[in-house]
A and B are shown apart, each in its own frame.
Chain A
Amino acid sequence: AQKVTQAQTEISVVEKEDVTLDCVYETRDTTYYLFWYKQPPSGELVFLIRRNSFDEQNEISGRYSWNFQKSTSSFNFTITASQVVVSAVYFCALSEENYGQNFVFGPGTRLSVLP
């Protein structure tokens, strides 16, 4: 069955610290897609990244980077030199190719970056 675990419920860091948000997934499919979304206090879901199961290259976008490791079923998200403005809830999500198109979301990690 599909499952997404985000073990960190809440994280607090001081501005300019690096922070890594963990995501571990379970899937029965060989083709699947992993996502990260940001949810600011206003409530909308902001797309950050999509990665398919055949692409294990790590990705960097500005201060954001993602580490996808199939061997450990993990898709971790690192924010470098964090800023107060990135404070939000972050969700990891999984969609399987052959078992419907719906997403399974993790429980989310609330990140607070303190000045």
Chain B
Amino acid sequence: EPEVTQTPSHQVTQMGQEVILRCVPISNHLYFYWYRQILGQKVEFLVSFYNNEISEKSEIFDDQFSVERPDGSNFTLKIRSTKLEDSAMYFCASSEPIRGRGYTFGSGTRLTVV
């Protein structure tokens, strides 16, 4: 079964450092997403990406965040200057061209900012 792959599974970074979280979506999917889950809380939408541009973003997704699809396979989330409150599980997801179909989450990257 096709998977969304996220690397690394766990990253520890110092406050103020830049971090890049990587995702390889399912190959024929056209919509890509990032979600965040602070420990013990619900999963929250950050951003969606389609046709090489952001299609929607939440208020959480401020200027500290950016997304990129640098080549045909990777989809990255960059946090420019990490804060303690950025510590969370970050989930990547992708979905098929047909809306609502095949929505698949990766297994997540646990980011710890110290």
Contact = CB atoms under 8 A, between A and B. Distances in A.
Interface of A: 33, 35, 37, 43-45, 47, 50, 52, 91, 93, 95, 97, 100-108
Contacts, number: 57
Interface of B: 31, 33, 35, 41-45, 48, 55-56, 58, 89, 91, 95, 99-100, 103-108, 110
Contacts of A44: 105-108
A45 B105 contact: yes
Nearest to B95: A101
In terms of DSSP, what is the predominant structure of the interface of chain A?
A: strand
Nearest to A4: B42
A22 to B, nearest CB: 15
28 contacts: A43-B108, A43-B110, A44-B106, A44-B107, A44-B108, A45-B105, A45-B108, A47-B103, A47-B105, A50-B103, A100-B48, A100-B55, A101-B33, A101-B48, A101-B56, A101-B95, A101-B99, A102-B45, A102-B48, A102-B56, A103-B35, A103-B103, A105-B42, A105-B43, A105-B44, A107-B41, A107-B42, A108-B42
